[in-house]
Amino acid sequence: MSNILEANKVVKQYGDYTALNEVSLTVPKGSIYGLLGPNGAGKTSLIRIINQITMPDSGEIILDGEKLNPSHVHSIGYMPEERGLYKTMKVGEQCLYLAQLKGLTKVEAKRELDYWFDRLEIQGWWNKKVQELSKGMAQKVQFVVTVLHKPKLLILDEPFSGFDPVNANLIKDEIIELNKQGTSVIFSTHRMESVEEMCDYIALIHKSNKLIEGKLTDVKKQFRTNNYEVGILSDNIEGLMYDLSQKFTLSQTDFKSLNDELKLEINLGNATPNELLQTLVQRGQVTHFMEKIPSVNDIFIKTVTE
Amino acid sequence: MSKLNLIIKREFVAKVRNKSFIVMTFLSPLLFVGIAVFVGYLSTMKADQKTIAIHDESGLFIKEFKSDDEYKYVDFSLVDTKILKDSIVNESYEGLLVIPKVTNNDSLQKKIQYISNNSPNASFVEKIENKIAKVITAQNFKSANLDTIAYKNAEAKVEIGLAKASGEEALKGINEVKIVIGGAFGYLIMMFIVIYGNMVMRSVIEEKVSRIIEVIISSVKPFQLMMGKIIGTSLAGVLQFLIWAIIAFVLYFGATMIFGVPMNNKVPNLTAEQVAMANTFNLETLQLYLNEIPLVLMGVCFVFYFIGGYFLYSSFYASIGAAVDNETDSQQFLLPIIMPLILGVYIGFFTVINDPHGTVATVFSMIPLTSPIVMMMRIPFGVPLWQIGVSLALLFATFLLVVWFAAKIYRVGILMYGKKPTWKELYKWSKY
């Protein structure tokens, strides 16, 4: 079984409004899967269905080879976007309670809590009430609660909101560490840089439909424009420009560099990168030559605005 | 431990540890005793004595007006009424009673006047009227040559013996005792529903506001959470009642230990007969009265109506809590819930006492929203078991229906933030 999660033609309607229109997803085991989409696209609806908070109107969810059933709540760790803790309850008691709701015994929960509190260096918080903690501190506790029962699948909705950069990094490292140990992660976010950095698979949901899904590199290939960024020092700029415009489409561009060179963005058309290089080398000193890979952000904006 | 148990335990502990719970539990009996003592003290205080001026032209009536603690009557028959009226404006007197002199008693009645700036209370007016009537009656007897003594002897006094068809002797005033006991049970159920229903609602709102709700319901079913909340909160309430019962028990026995025994020794002035009477009333009469009331049946029914009523209403409260974001928004939805409760109490105290088995009382003791209160008030008067059975069956059937419906609203509501929903939207939610 190579997929931790499969969604088959999931439909969810609220009254006349269709939140999910036959959405199918495949999340490979051991992946970090980015679920992207603008606000109101249907991400949260889908995540709630996976967590069995709501039921799909039609379609099915397969978790680790089995049709989704109530016992699966123990295999999933979910950190919702709208999250919180009981304000007047003590941190330790609260974690024990939430862990037991996830199927752990009190002893197991205590052991796991000791491990995580040690690891995140928050041992001193056990008897504090949540209302005494800062927002960032509460988020750490929230994270512990989410991963305490060693879920097979971790679903994180905007996991980094509310964290300062130091703690965000800490949590990011913990997520990557858990992933290395075999936990599959689905995370839904608007922060494209973290998607770029962490995800190996992405899916894009827009207006209740899934538009893109696949391995991040494959998706990027699909959106490849064959544009190259070029920097060149040349005595004969006019000649160079003439040569290039015969074969390629050009535009001026800008990137950071130490030289005062000519900076161009060149579309290869049907030519190969080597043909471009040959043209360039004849006319001057090449200081920069790079394929312009579309960022997730570009893909997101391009798909959503189309 | 099952998830439901975990939730019940958490809710219970959260309620019991709450400062306001502890304060309420131990302070309110004190407050209750304090208020009782205060009211008792107030009732022993005498009202200020009022002075009434009387202008009795014939001088026949003034003898009847003897001053007492409440009213002081002053004879101003010789002073002109006009001057007297002026002095009332200056508030030297509470009021002025003018009885003119006439030859014919029939015309007198309409001419007697009571003048006052304050409108007199009914019992005072009746008191004066009786005094005047007494004098006139005596005169009438005299003028008709009737023997007043013979008349008094001829007057019959009747006291009807009350009995039931079963032949036992019925006690006087038993109906009052019944309504008090039934009312106490009914009122207790209502108070519990309002106080603990509100607690359930607040607890739901708290979970919404702190946004923990989605974390919780990714582990448990919303229905489990709702039921756990309702049961846990009710257990906290039961604990509170138990503590109150124990406090009352201890106070009662403590009081009899300290005051009870020495008090009897301290009143040697009472005649033996009086002591005997007092004792009979305290023990035997009480026993007789209590024997008249089906206490065991009441106890059993109380438990069932209590559970049914509380669960029914707190499901409403839970779904309201789920529908709104804060307590202020809940008012609009709470009104329809409070109405039947208040209706139940009113029907109990006004209809049941007059006609415990009449149509109104019977119908409302069947309607599930009012039956826990009204039926509890009817039971001391003797209700056929089949009626209790039907009423309970209806109550529990409605309870299941309401819980099912409330759970649907709850399930959708807990994840809805933002604007206050309308009734129409609540109905729509139930179909999601």
What DSSP letter does each residue of B233-260 carry, written as one string?
HHHHHHHHHHHHHHHHHHHHHHHIIIII
**Residue B383 and residue B365 in contact, taking contact as beta carbons nearer than 8 Å:** yes
**Cα–Cα distance between B337 and B116 in angstroms, integer?**
47
With CB atoms and an 8 Å threshold, state whether A100 touches B415: no
Q: Tell me, what's the ipTM?
A: 0.80
A153 with A286, same domain: the answer is no
A287 touches chain B (CB under 8 A): no
**Cα–Cα distance between B318 and B403 in angstroms, integer?**
10
Chain B residues in contact with A51 (beta carbon < 8 A) = 218
Q: Is residue B166 included in any domain, yes or no? A: no
- For chain A positions 34-53, those within 8 Å of chain B (CB to CB) are 48, 51-53
A148 with A214, same domain: the answer is yes
B64 with B190, same domain: the answer is no
By CA distance, what is B221's nearest residue in A? A53
Task: From A123, A171, A151, A166, select the one nearest A64 (Cα to Cα).
Answer: A151
Q: Which residue has the tokens 């190579």?
A: A2
By CA distance, what is B4's nearest residue in A? A101
In this prediction, the residues of chain A whose per-residue pLDDT falls under 50 are none
List, in sequence order, every residue forming a beta bridge with B56; answer none if it has no partner. B99
List, in sequence order, every residue forming a beta bridge with A186; answer none if it has no partner. A33, A155
Considering only CB atoms, A15 lies closest to which of B3, B10, B428, namely B428
By CA distance, what is B203's nearest residue in A? A86
Q: Is residue A305 included in any domain, yes or no? A: no
Q: Is residue B19 included in any domain, yes or no? A: no
Considering only CB atoms, B219 lies closest to which of A82, A84, A102, namely A102
Kind and range of the H or E element at B385? Answer: helix B385-413
What does the pLDDT read at residue A223? 85
What does the pLDDT read at residue B77? 80
A95 with A188, same domain: the answer is yes
Q: State the smallest CA–CA distance between residue B14 and chain A in angstroms.
A: 8
Considering only CB atoms, A85 lies closest to which of B7, B212, B218, namely B212
Q: State the smallest CA–CA distance between residue B12 and chain A in angstroms.
A: 13
A67 with A195, same domain: the answer is yes
Q: State the smallest CA–CA distance between residue A143 and chain B in angstroms.
A: 11
B264 with B412, same domain: the answer is yes
pLDDT averaged over 10-residue windows placed end to end, chain B, 432 residues: 87 88 83 83 74 81 79 80 74 78 71 79 82 82 79 76 57 73 84 88 87 87 88 88 83 72 45 49 61 78 88 89 83 86 86 81 88 87 87 90 85 76 74 64
- For chain A positions 102-141, those within 8 Å of chain B (CB to CB) are 102
Q: State the smallest CA–CA distance between residue B219 and chain A in angstroms.
A: 6
Neighbours of B85 (CB within 10 A): 14
Q: Is A90 helix (H, G, I), strand (E, B) or coil?
A: strand
- For chain A positions 50-69, those within 8 Å of chain B (CB to CB) are 51-53
B185 with B140, same domain: the answer is no
A18 touches chain B (CB under 8 A): no
Q: Is residue A304 included in any domain, yes or no? A: no
B65 with B204, same domain: the answer is no
Residue B254 phi, psi (nearest 5): -60, -45
A275 with A173, same domain: the answer is no
A88 with A232, same domain: the answer is no
A45 with A129, same domain: the answer is yes
Q: Crossing angle, helix B371-378 and helix B295-323, to 10 degrees?
A: 170
Domain range holding B280? 172-429
B107 with B206, same domain: the answer is no
A193 with A229, same domain: the answer is no
Domain range holding A231? 225-293
Q: Do β-strands A32-36 and A184-188 pair in parallel, antiparallel, or remain unpaired?
A: parallel
What does the pLDDT read at residue B263? 43
Task: From A170, A108, A175, select the one nearest A136 (Cα to Cα).
Answer: A170
Residues of B near A (CB-CB distance < 8 A)? Answer: 1, 3, 6-7, 10, 14, 18, 206-207, 210-212, 214-221, 415, 417, 428, 432
List, in sequence order, every residue forming a beta bridge with B22; answer none if it has no partner. none
Last residue of a domain, one of A221, A242, A261: A221
pTM of the model: 0.74
Domain count, chain B: 2
Could you give the C-alpha distances from A218 to A6, A97, B173, B398, in angstroms and in order?
19, 43, 92, 58
Last residue of a domain, one of B84, B118, B151: B151
A149 with A265, same domain: the answer is no
Domain count, chain A: 2
